Amino acid sequence: MSTSKSSKQNPRLKARHRTGSVWQTIFMISTLVGIVALLALLYNIGDSAFGYVVVEYQVLPESLERDGVALEDQTVDQLLLTFQENVSKGLYRRFEAEGAFENPTEVDLENLIVEWVLEARVVEGWGFWESLRNRAEIQAQAAKEFPNGQLEMRSWLNPNFLVSRQSETAMKAGVRTAILGSLWTIFIAITFAFPIGVGAAIYLEEYATDTFINRIIQTNINNLAGVPSIIYGMLGLAIFVRALEKITSGAAFGVLEDPTTANGRTVLSAGLTLGLLVLPLIIINSQEAIRAVPQSLRQASYGLGATKWQTVWYHVLPNAISGVLTGTILSISRAIGETAPLVVVGASTFIREDPSGPFSKFTTLPIQIYQWTARPQDVFRNIAAAAILVLLILLLSLNATAIFLRNRYARRL
């Protein structure tokens, strides 16, 4: 009896297990698709960011040795002399008049020499993987088609790229201004949105009663988190750039020499716009974290004669802080990659001055990448790939810092 019953049940049990393993396979495939997509992205970026290039020089770098020191090892003074000896007096005086030789760095001078003396140009380039595979063919082709050119393995992501400013020439262009612009806007966005967001979350969770109006507010905050970012750009343009121009341009604080030139397209406007963009995210995530604090803890606190504020400050917030910080980390990731709202708010597409404060003009990494990929010349695609790597590294290091801070706070409890 029992054996016949179990043999009757067995096929169904097998079918149940089979269903399980089918789903397991499907989930595994989903994961694999994700991994493949990520690898394809890295492959693509890596392919563009590194590889063989043929560089043609008007003057060969080897001919610019000074006292037996190669060009790239020369000191500032030596570089200055090299530059002076190899350009016309008129050009030298022009740069002198522009103040290019007041405290120049080695990088600045090397860039000047590359542009005006060597007149280096990338005339042909190959992707990284092709460069690895078809080395001999590339060498043969380069020797045949560009007898005056030099074939070199180039990493578009290099120290010079990080510290150089924007330039018309891809070989000299860098992301220094864009990195600083990104850091400034993120800093302002978080300084603005974090306290307001956490404050709003505390109010909504701990103080607000369940009324019709409060429910509408809650629903709207949830919806705001899904509003397309370009709309925040329009909002930022209307409010921060136009309506509050006196404040966002710094005219109200007297930082402008001529108030009539006030222009609201500043780091401050961009930071505040991104702040608005991440505010609903921070509020929602903080609310989740505050809601996750057990009710028994609040009761224990009230039972000892604590006021509402003491309960929130000493028990709810310390227990919610790691969740709040996780939400903030996600917001940083969102904000640092935003391009559209900043285009609307007025990020400069070509700017050489570093942002020096909240009232500076600015550009950010995504804007810079967007602008480079839109250029017709192939080489700009290479530096765009290098800039993407910089953006990814910046993002990862900001997140790592935030996670480190979160773990430190969480452990203290």
Partner 1 sequence: MSTLTTHKQDVSMVARNLNIYYGDFQAVKDVNLEIKKNKITAIIGPSGCGKSTVLRSFNRMNELVPTARTEGEIIFEGIDIYAPEIDAVEVRSRIGMVFQKPNPFPKSIYENVAWGAKINGFKGDMNELVENSLRRAALWDEVKDKLDQSGLSLSGGQQQRLCIARAIAVKPDLILMDEPASALDPVATLKIEDLMRELSKNYTIIIVTHNMQQAGRASDYTAFFNMNPDRAGYLVEYDETAKLFTNPKEKLTEEYITGRFG
Residues that bind partner 1 (CB under 8 A): 209-210, 294, 296-307, 310, 314-315, 319, 413
Give the bridge partners for 161, in sequence order. none
Residues whose CB is less than 8 angstroms from the CB of residue 205 and which lie 6 or more positions away in sequence, other chains included: 287, 290, 291
Least distance in angstroms from the C-beta of 404 to partner 1:
21
- Give the CA distances from residue 91 to residues 59, 85, 106, 117, 170, in Å, rounded to whole numbers and listed in that order: 17, 11, 19, 11, 22
CB nearer partner 1, residue 202 or residue 335: 202
- Which residue number, 129 or 309, has a Cβ lying nearer to partner 1? 309
Q: Considering the complex, what minimum distance in angstroms separates the CB of residue 210 from partner 1?
A: 7
Minimum CB separation from partner 1 for residue 307, in Å?
5
Smallest distance, partner 1 to C-beta of residue 295, A: 9
Output 310 or 401, the one with its CB closest to partner 1: 310
CB of 103 or CB of 211, closer to partner 1: 211
* DSSP letter (8 states) at residue 359: T
Q: Which is nearer to partner 1, 207 or 350 (CB)?
A: 207
Measured distance CA(111)–CA(68) in Å, rounded: 21
The Cβ of residue 224 has, within 10 Å, a number of other Cβ atoms equal to 17
**Is the CB of 30 or the CB of 299 nearer to partner 1?**
299
Closer to partner 1 by CB, 163 or 410: give it: 410
φ, ψ dihedrals at 56, nearest 5°: -105, 130
- The closest of 111, 120, 122, 103 to 82, measured between CA atoms, is 111
The pair of structure tokens assigned to 31 is 């994961």
The C-alpha atoms of residue 368 and residue 384 are separated, in whole angstroms, by: 8
Least distance from partner 1 to the Cβ atom of residue 315, Å: 7
Residue 234 CB, shortest distance to partner 1, in Å, is 39
Edge-to-edge order in the sheet of strand 149-155: 121-125, 50-56, 149-155
Q: Are 128 and 47 in contact (CB under 8 A)?
A: yes
Beta bridge partners of 153: 52
Of 228 and 294, the one with the shorter C-beta distance to partner 1 is 294
Closer residue to partner 1, CB minimum distance, 148 or 299: 299
- Report how far apart, in Å, the C-alpha atoms of 403 and of each of 323, 330, 368, 398 are: 11, 11, 27, 9
Min. distance of Cβ 402 from partner 1 in angstroms? 22
Q: Tokens at residue 341, please?
A: 């709202």
Closest alpha carbon to 331 in 135, 185, 206, 214: 185
Please report how close the Cβ of residue 297 comes to partner 1 at its closest, in angstroms: 6
- CB of residue 285 to partner 1, shortest distance in Å: 21
Which residue's CB is nearer to partner 1, number 39 or number 300? 300
Cα atoms in the 13 Å half-sphere on the side-chain side of 278 = 32
Could you give the count of Cα atoms lying within 13 Å of 255 in the half-sphere of its Cβ? 13
CB 225 within 8 A of CB 242: no
Who's near 78: CB < 8 A, 6+ residues apart?
Answer: 66, 67, 69
Close Cβ partners of 145 (under 8 Å, ≥ 6 residues apart): 124
